[in-house]
């Protein structure tokens, strides 16, 4: 049993590192287990997490205390709202590419559920799901896309064809699995996705301290495009967030980002006199490769112009990037207003297929027409040879 002051010191370090406000008994039990594994005293453990290896040990402790509970098609009312309300709204806006962030994705059940539902509801859209979690162990499970056969018990019959049954396990079908990209990220401090149409962060905020919750909610809002949709757990109300408007549909609640300033919705503007000059047209985003323009959110007096992203962005390709997935990712990036430059980094890719070259070539041509500088970069020998072979090594678009 650890002394209360020792538990309090460890709790302070955990809160500072990851923003987690955990029950004292949970933290005490897990910290005591780590202390036993390391074979050191409680005082030495506090010194350890304060020292040069502190970040490494705090990561191990957080791995031990994480909840990570999830399952396929969990909380069906919200899944139904996604399919029956959100997807039709995105379709009505003419979206050709939909970008989703699954924050705190645990072992991957939720992002795969999102991919299945949206791919079926929006068959003509390029779906891109970015899934993040602080746990390396959970992400390792998620990337394998394989679960016990009992996981199918919670899957509606209409979606059973999205799985491959292999004895006592089931695998997510490759056509769905390729829509999801996993990244390790601490919601409190690491880089987060931007330009998301949907942000899904269920049963994560309840584990943060009040200050950390405020900071994380700000990041969720900034990741969401105006008019985009935010889903959180049933016990995690965001009604105190001025940028979000709560919407109830049957048994589900979700939030819509309505403005960029933490202020109440302004009154409708006074009509301009007849002599006032017309409002200039907005600059269109470049064509997405193999897809029409992804239009801006519809004009709406209650919705101010979207926040501009940083002027330059980087898309890093990893593993064996599929042409369809890269097309979806580029479509989402090009739909972000204010983009001036994009670097496509090939060095993280293990294998570059020839079918990727026309995708990048069309992306550069479309960006050039819209005044966006696109650079395809590769410094590794294999990437340089691939660029040279396909005539893509000439620099900026």
Helix (H, G, I), strand (E, B) or coil at 244: strand
What per-residue confidence (pLDDT) applies to 132?
A: 95
Using a cut of 0.75, tell me whether the model's pTM lies above it.
no
- Beta-strand (E) ranges in the chain? 97-103, 126-133, 146-148, 163-166, 169-172, 180-184, 196-201, 224-232, 244-249, 252-257, 312-316, 341-345, 373-377
Which residues, other chains included, contact 156 with Cβ-Cβ below 8 Å and sequence gap of 6+? Answer: 73, 76
- Check whether residue 232 and residue 94 sit in a common domain: yes
Predicted local confidence at residue 51, as pLDDT: 86
d(CA 230, CA 257): 8
Mean pLDDT, consecutive 10-residue stretches, the chain (397 aa), reads 85 79 77 87 89 82 69 91 95 93 93 97 95 90 94 93 94 96 89 93 85 91 96 88 91 85 38 37 41 33 34 76 73 62 86 84 72 85 83 61
Q: What phi-psi label fits residue 145: left (phi over 0), alpha (psi between -120 and 50 degrees) or beta?
A: left
Say if residue 125 is in the same domain as residue 163.
Answer: yes
Judgement on whether residues 107 and 189 belong to the same structural domain of the protein: yes
pLDDT value at residue 77: 92
Do 91 and 233 have their domain in common?
Answer: yes
Q: How many domains does the chain have?
A: 3
Domain membership of residue 375 as a residue range? 312-389
Same-domain check for residues 235 and 181: yes
Structural domain includes residue 306: no
Do 158 and 225 reside in the same domain of the chain?
Answer: yes
| Confidence (pLDDT) at 56 | 82
Residue 276 lies in a domain: no
- The 10 Å CB-count burial string (b at 16+, else e) for 249-287 is eeebbbbbbbbbeeeeeeeeeeeeeeeeeeeeeeeebbb
Same domain, 195 and 119: yes
DSSP labels, 20-54: B---HHHHHHHHHHHHHHHT--HHHHHHHHHSTTH
Are both 57 and 196 inside the same structural domain? no
Task: Give me the CATH number covering residue 357.
Answer: 3.30.750.24
97 and 214 in a single domain? The answer is: yes
Q: Do 316 and 238 belong together in one domain?
A: no
The partner residues of 182 in beta bridges, in order of sequence, read 131
């Amino acid at each position: 049993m650890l002394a209360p002051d020792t538990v309090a010191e460890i709790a302070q370090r955990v809160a500072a590192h990851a923003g987690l406000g955990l029950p004292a008994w949970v933290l005490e039990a897990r910290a005591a287990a780590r202390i036993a594994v390391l074979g050191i005293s409680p005082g030495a453990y506090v010194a350890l997490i304060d020292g040069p290896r502190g970040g490494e040990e705090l990561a191990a402790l957080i791995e031990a205390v994480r909840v990570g509970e999830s399952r396929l098609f969990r909380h069906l009312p919200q899944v139904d709202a996604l399919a029956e309300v959100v997807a039709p709204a995105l379709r009505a806006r003419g979206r050709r590419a939909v970008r989703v962030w699954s924050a705190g994705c645990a072992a991957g059940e939720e992002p795969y559920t999102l991919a299945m539902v949206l791919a079926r509801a929006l068959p003509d859209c390029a779906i891109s799901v970015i899934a993040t979690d602080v746990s390396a162990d959970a992400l390792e499970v998620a990337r394998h896309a394989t679960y016990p056969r009992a996981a199918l018990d919670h899957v509606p019959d209409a979606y059973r064809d999205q799985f491959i049954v292999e004895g006592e396990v089931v695998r997510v079908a490759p056509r769905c699995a390729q829509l999801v990209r996993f990244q390790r990220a601490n919601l409190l401090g690491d880089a987060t996705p931007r330009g998301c149409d949907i942000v899904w962060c269920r049963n994560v905020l309840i584990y943060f301290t009040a200050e950390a919750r405020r900071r994380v909610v700000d990041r969720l809002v900034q990741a969401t495009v105006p008019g985009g949709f935010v889903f959180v757990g049933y016990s995690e109300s965001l009604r105190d967030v001025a940028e979000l408007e709560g919407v109830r549909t049957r048994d589900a609640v979700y939030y819509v980002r309505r403005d960029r300033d933490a202020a109440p919705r302004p009154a409708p503007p006074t009509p301009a006199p007849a002599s006032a000059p017309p409002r200039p047209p907005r600059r269109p985003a470049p064509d997405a490769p193999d897809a029409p323009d992804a239009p801006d959110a519809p004009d709406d007096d209650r919705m101010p112009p979207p926040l501009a992203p940083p002027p330059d962005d980087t898309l890093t390709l990893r593993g064996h990037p599929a042409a369809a997935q890269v097309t979806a990712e580029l479509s989402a990036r090009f739909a972000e207003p204010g983009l001036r430059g994009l670097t496509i980094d090939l060095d993280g890719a293990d294998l570059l297929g020839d079918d990727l070259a026309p995708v990048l070539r069309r992306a550069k041509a479309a960006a050039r027409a819209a005044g966006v500088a696109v650079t395809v970069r590769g410094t590794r020998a294999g990437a340089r040879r691939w660029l040279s072979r396909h005539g893509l090594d000439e620099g900026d678009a």
